Structure 1
């Protein structure tokens, strides 16, 4: 039951994280991507402060320096760098392609799990991850993407790949220190408190790139649609998705986490179709099917 619940938490967490691509595309139409992170985090921190703010600050004073360092790494890679790369890249490439390229996260996470965590993988794990990677390859072979890329388009794709690498690093950091729970206080920290502390650290880290040569006056030009997207980015993509992720990573191995991160490109692809009306070819549908099959194959191990 613990393994099954872990997979459900991971699926929900990564599905919500997949909405960040479409939400980011909406926000970067009128806002600089660097400004989105501190504003959305600020909204979330203010809304949840009456419930978790005081408890989180008190708990922070009881944590060891090593635990705070882990939170800082999680905030840096999982929120600040991931969003900085993604929001900058999505403004230079298409939303569908950005979502697709985030699908490299399972492959990168698996490589890091093998190299850093020294985790072994059986045939089911290899086949499940291979299906996810095959799905990503099929999605990228969309005939509508065969036109020559401009330099800015190529740079956008590279930045999204950097976002995927940041997400993978976050996954490995979370898993590594959860496994060392006996030596740290992290294992006993409630997910909501951990989410709040990580977001608070990320807020302060994002202030420098967020307001560097960026006027806050640009916020006066946005409407209710953008404010709603900012609230979603903070309360759902950050708070709720991270809670599900922290619950799932406690119950799952690194390879399972890697495979279920394939929900990010799949969710992004579907949302781009229904909300942004971006065309999706047969290869992309087939690739999405392989991603689902990969997750189900890994899930059979429970």
Structure 2
């Protein structure tokens, strides 16, 4: 029962996270990517302060400096850099491709685990990485891309891959911290409080690039659709998705998390198709399929490792 509830939490969390690509595409039409992160996080922090604000501050006062450093790294890589790269990239490439390319996170995580953590790279993992690379090649060489190819389009795809790499770095930091046995205090922090603290730190970090020459006047010109998207980005994509993710991770194994992360590109692709009316070519469907297959292969390796 615990494992089933964990899978439901992961499915909900990754599905909500998948809406970030489409939401970001809507917002980048009117706002700079450096502005979206602090504003959306600020909305979320203000709305949830009556529920978690005081408890989060008291919890932070009890944590060790090393624990706070881990939260800071999680906020920096998992939120600030991830969104900065994603929001900049989605403005240069198609929403469909951006969503699919976020699915390369497990493959990049496996490569970093091999290089940084010196983990053994077995056949399932190698097959998963190869499948992910093949998916990227198919997407980049789709007929739509060849017809409108430009350096900026390729740069957009590269920035989305950098966003996936930022998320992978977040995973590696968390894994290394757990392996060293230094997360005793963190295990006592409820998911809601951890989400609020990480988001608060991310908000403070995002103020640095966000308010440097920020066109504040643009905020007065945006309409209700943009404000609704900002609220969704903060309250749902950040708060609710993170809570579901933390709850799911506590109840499932690593291979299950890797498998369900395929909901991000799948959700993004379907939303782009039905709401943004973006065309999806055969190469993009095939590329997305290979990237989702890579997650399943890498997740299979994690399952095998657990059974040994």
TM-score, normalising length: structure 1: 0.88
Q: Is the 8 A contact 1:137 1:287 kept in 2?
A: yes
How does 1:145-164 map onto structure 2 within 5 Å? Answer: 145-147=145-147, 149-164=149-164
How well do the aligned residues superpose, as a CA RMSD in angstroms? 2.7
Q: Is the 8 A contact 1:67 1:184 kept in 2?
A: no
Distance between the aligned counterparts of 2:103 and 2:229, measured in 1?
23
Distance between the aligned counterparts of 2:9 and 2:129, measured in 1?
19
Distance between the aligned counterparts of 2:251 and 2:129, measured in 1?
19
- Aligned match of 2:190: 190
- Aligned match of 2:59: 59
Alignment coverage as a number of residue pairs: 302
Distance between the aligned counterparts of 1:14 and 1:134, measured in 2?
23
- Aligned match of 1:219: 219
Assess, with a 3 A threshold, how the Cα gap between structure 1 residues 293 and 183 changes in structure 2: closer, same or farther. Answer: closer
Assess, with a 3 A threshold, how the Cα gap between structure 1 residues 151 and 287 changes in structure 2: closer, same or farther. Answer: closer
How big is each residue's C-alpha offset from its partner over 1:246-266, in whole Å with a ceiling of 9 and x where there is no partner? Answer: 223334555554443333222
1:204 is paired with a residue of what secondary structure? helix
Distance between the aligned counterparts of 1:8 and 1:111, measured in 2?
28
- Deviation of the 1:154 alpha carbon: 2.5
Q: Is the 8 A contact 2:100 2:291 kept in 1?
A: no
Distance between the aligned counterparts of 1:180 and 1:275, measured in 2?
45
Of the structure 1 ranges 219-228 and 149-158, higher mean CA displacement relative to structure 2 is found in 149-158
How does 1:92-171 map onto structure 2 within 5 Å? Answer: 92-120=92-120, 134-147=134-147, 149-171=149-171
- Aligned match of 1:268: 268
- Aligned match of 1:91: 91
How big is each residue's C-alpha offset from its partner over 1:177-206, in whole Å with a ceiling of 9 and x where there is no partner? Answer: 344556531111110000000000000100
2:147 is paired with a residue of what secondary structure? coil
Of the structure 1 ranges 288-297 and 54-63, higher mean CA displacement relative to structure 2 is found in 288-297
Distance between the aligned counterparts of 2:160 and 2:65, measured in 1?
32
Distance between the aligned counterparts of 1:171 and 1:259, measured in 2?
15
- Deviation of the 1:96 alpha carbon: 1.5
- Deviation of the 1:82 alpha carbon: 0.6
Assess, with a 3 A threshold, how the Cα gap between structure 1 residues 9 and 299 changes in structure 2: closer, same or farther. Answer: farther
Of the structure 1 ranges 54-63 and 12-21, higher mean CA displacement relative to structure 2 is found in 12-21
- Aligned match of 2:24: 24
Distance between the aligned counterparts of 2:217 and 2:174, measured in 1?
37
How big is each residue's C-alpha offset from its partner over 1:135-187, in whole Å with a ceiling of 9 and x where there is no partner? Answer: 55544443212236323222222211111110111122233334455653111
- Aligned match of 2:231: 231
Distance between the aligned counterparts of 2:180 and 2:187, measured in 1?
8
- Aligned match of 2:74: 74
Of the structure 1 ranges 86-95 and 67-76, higher mean CA displacement relative to structure 2 is found in 86-95
Q: Which runs of 5+ in 1 are unaligned?
A: none
- Deviation of the 1:21 alpha carbon: 0.9
Q: Which runs of 5+ in 2 are unaligned?
A: none
Q: Is the 8 A contact 2:44 2:235 kept in 1?
A: yes
1:279 is paired with a residue of what secondary structure? coil
Q: Is the 8 A contact 1:110 1:254 kept in 2?
A: no
Distance between the aligned counterparts of 1:154 and 1:285, measured in 2?
19
